[in-house]
Amino acid sequence: MVRPLILCLIPVLLASGCRSDGTAGDRLPRGERIAVLFPEAIRGPLDPRLNTRAWTGKVVQLMYEGVVSVHNEAMEPRPALAERIDQPSPTVYEITLRADARFHDGNPVTAGDLKATYQSVVDPQLGSPFRGLYARVQSMEVLGPKRLRITLDAPHAPFISDLSLGIVPAKLIGADGQLTAPVGAGPYAFSARDGEREVVLERSAHAWRGQPRTRYLVFRTVRDENTRLLALMGGDADLVQNAVTPRLVDAVRDRPDIEVGGVPGVGYNYLAFNLRDPILAKLEVRQAIAHAIDRARLIEHKFRGVASPSSGMLAPNHWAHADDVPRYGHDPARARALLDAAGYPDPPGEAPRFTLNFKTSTDKFRRNLVRLMADDLQAVGIAVDVQGFELGTLLSDAKSGNFQLYTLQWPDPGEPHFYNWLFHSSRIPTPDAPNRGGNRGAYANGRVDALIDRGRITTDRAARAGIYRELQRILQAELPYLSLWHEDVVVVHRAGLEGYRPLPNASLFELWRAGWSAADGR
């Protein structure tokens, strides 16, 4: 049983400690910090213009604010550093900054800082992965200390969301475009870093939202899931989000010193098909795979209910979600018939119809999920070779088209123009341009391209929703991806920690409101 095993290990953990040497976070008073454990290393610069890593991004988001913020329950772009944004025409955005918007060093956030941030992003010297977001900016004009006018070369509806990029001080942008110090205007400021294993933030005295409740946040890498949970129960850590499997979460739900919470998430889990492959190029084969995999069983038994079936990239609560799309229920008989129709009859004896290579990460829970999916495919005559890779290798293979099947998650697909990155034919990576897009399976459909292009220039939300709903119907019919599920955002934290609200996009931004109750006794 899981629960007795965990209880037996607690004394061992407390006797031995989590680490062989202390860190800056260890030396902080427990009542003045919230220690958060990550399953992955905190890699890369703490710079919003350069970071694309999901876990490092959770730290970056607390350090930097954008003109708008999407850290809310609806994940809508809402004014943050901006007091207001006026749009006198479809191509013009006039930004008025808050009078109380200040950087961590106390200096005011100005229109010049906005202009310098965006200019640095489009400068090839910096090498920002977000350069394309601002490629349509035709001009930027400072109208005053707190006012900036941005003119685009054509209407681009997602641009309001693009303004969520964190702003950096103009004076700290070096000649090479790099930041000379990690200073932003978010609720927390940089305090210390220990390589890739720990970052400590301290609350900013100048945050326009108000002073954060807890003085320090400590983000620490602990790769082993059991160690993360034991550290939490032993008091060496305070919060873990989306980094404990449902089985272990259930094992601690009844502990008085632990609280479990969560919300439905928008993270999109998918199975990608390589349409260059002669087998997977056949729609009947992709449909057969969709009918063969019993997603409801996986959600019930592996996720223990903390996930919901997905019918597309956008979660059911998204303003552009389409409900009237093709569905692929578990139907092995239908899967076998589709494989027969595709020209792959079931051979006599034990031989499979064909064999597919299925790539996934080295994460134990994810590998187990893929093995169960492989069992479902085996049941209809498809042999599967499951291979686990470190995330970097898996992504490299995906970008280069070196796969038949793989599964990953897009953590925060809020702006539906993300379909452009995933499925527009211009976004198919090539050997010369491996980062040109996320259309790694080489899907091409002229109607899909046209809908994506129309959705980008249509500014009316109702009209955009209609465009993206048609797009979802086509994608569900043609299956460049098999949509799997949306996982809940699950939080496990020490009792006595209050005020933290998990968000659907799994951001940790609401930590700025969290703190310890007076009765906690820490």
Q: Is the pLDDT of residue 452 over 70?
A: yes
Looking at the domain that runs over 2-37+186-263+489-516, which CATH code has it been given? 3.40.190.10
- Determine the Cα–Cα distance for residues 501 and 506; give it in Å rounded to an integer: 10
Query: pLDDT tens across 136-157, in order?
Result: 999 999 999 999 999 999 999 9
What number of CA atoms fall less than 13 Å from residue 414's CA on the CB side? 21
**Amino acid in the structure at residue 316:** P
- Fold match flag (68-172 vs 268-487): no
Q: Would the pLDDT of 8 be above 50?
A: no
Query: Is 70 exceeded by the pLDDT of residue 289?
Result: yes
> Which conformational region is residue 227 in: left (phi greater than 0), alpha (psi within -120 to 50 degrees), or beta?
alpha
Q: Rounded CA gap, 342 and 286, in Å?
A: 10
pTM: 0.87
Going from N- to C-terminal start, the domains of the chain cover 2-37+186-263+489-516, 68-172, 268-487
Q: Which of 234, 264, 240 is nearest to 492 (CA)?
A: 240
CA angle 248, 254, 259 (to 5 degrees): 80
Q: What is the mean pLDDT of residues 489-506?
A: 95
Identify the band that residue 21 occupies on the pLDDT scale cut at 50, 70 and 90.
low
**∠ Cα 511 313 132 (to 5°):** 75
Distance (Å, whole) CA 208 – CA 185: 8
Distance CA 283, CA 279 (A): 9
d(CA 135, CA 56): 25
For 60-79, write each residue's pLDDT tens digit.
999 999 999 999 988 889 99
Edge-first strand order for the sheet with 82-89 is 82-89, 92-97, 147-152, 137-144
How does pLDDT run across 166-186, given as a tens digit for each residue?
Answer: 999 999 999 999 999 999 999
Tell me which CATH code domain 268-487 carries. 3.10.105.10
Q: What is the pLDDT of residues 297-339, one digit of tens each?
A: 999 999 988 999 999 999 998 999 999 999 999 999 999 999 9
Question: Given this structure, which CATH class describes domain 68-172?
Answer: alpha beta
Residues 6+ apart with CB under 8 A from 7: none
Helix ranges restricted to H, 40-82: 54-63
